[in-house]
Amino acid sequence: MKDFKEIVESKMLARSNTMGPFTKLMSYLGEALPKKDNRIADILSGNNASMVYSGLGLIGKGGEFIMIDAREDFPYETVTNIAGKDFLPKPKDYYMNTESGKDDVRRVLSTIGVIPYVAKIPPYPQDIKPNSLDAVTCVNSLFEFQGDKKSLVEETEKLIRPGGVFLAQEWFFQDLQNLLRAGRETLSSHFDLITAKYENLYKSKWALLKKREIPRTSEEAKAQCWNFDLSEEMEEI
């Protein structure tokens, strides 16, 4: 049997010629990231294998792809969605409910630079330090997020380093608008809107924001013309 890294690499190669929504999203993200070996966190991850493949294309050999979700089974499901149910030979209960089983799953994911956190955010896990992330992505997840969006944006800003980026994508425009409006004060002070796009084929809408090296003053932030409705700023691709 192939090891997990070989399975992932073969699937990434097979997908390299496709241009689905995740590939397009990550291409925009890759253009905004200034260096290799990036540390990227995908929040409200679920067990999205597509995001794993896309994210690994950006982190490089020395980077990390952090996945954060509240569902207890998402690390296990991430492995089995990629490699099949037979890859982890013991019953699911072992990997879900014993520390040795959870360690086995984390060890498998670590071979490809993926670090899973089972956590309800905000707040973020404490060992993710301020200014330590090159990017945070939130992809098609806000429709089921029941937490405080304002706090989510505030906590996310603290963890992204200056020059790093925040990418939010949703199928439903209102969900994306609600996040940006809730975080209006933090975003207008600490971020520049790099691009906002929509794409009819996959009904996808997204906004890419870059953290400023120096925050705006309160007066400058209030004077920002973009209103977080994104109706005028959005471009079709």
Q: Domains of the chain (ranges plus CATH)?
A: 4-228 (3.40.50.150)
Count of Cβ atoms closer than 10 Å to residue 150 Cβ: 16
pLDDT at 159: 98
Query: Which residues neighbour 229 within 8 Å (Cβ) at sequence distance 6 or greater?
Result: 177
pLDDT at 173: 80
Which residue, among 119, 200, 114, 189, has the nearest Cα to 153 in the 3D structure? 189
pLDDT at 130: 98
What sign for the dihedral angle of Cα 192, 198, 199, 203? positive
pLDDT at 60: 82
pLDDT at 154: 97
pLDDT in tens, the chain (237 residues): 579 999 998 888 776 655 455 667 777 888 888 677 899 999 998 777 778 888 888 898 889 999 999 999 999 999 999 999 899 999 999 999 999 999 999 999 999 999 999 999 999 999 999 999 999 999 888 888 889 999 999 999 999 999 999 999 888 888 888 899 899 899 999 999 888 877 665 567 889 999 999 999 988 888 775 555 565 556 655
Cα separations in angstroms, 127 against 68, 69, 115, 117, 132 = 13, 15, 12, 10, 10
Phi, psi angle pair for 151, to nearest 5°: -65, -35
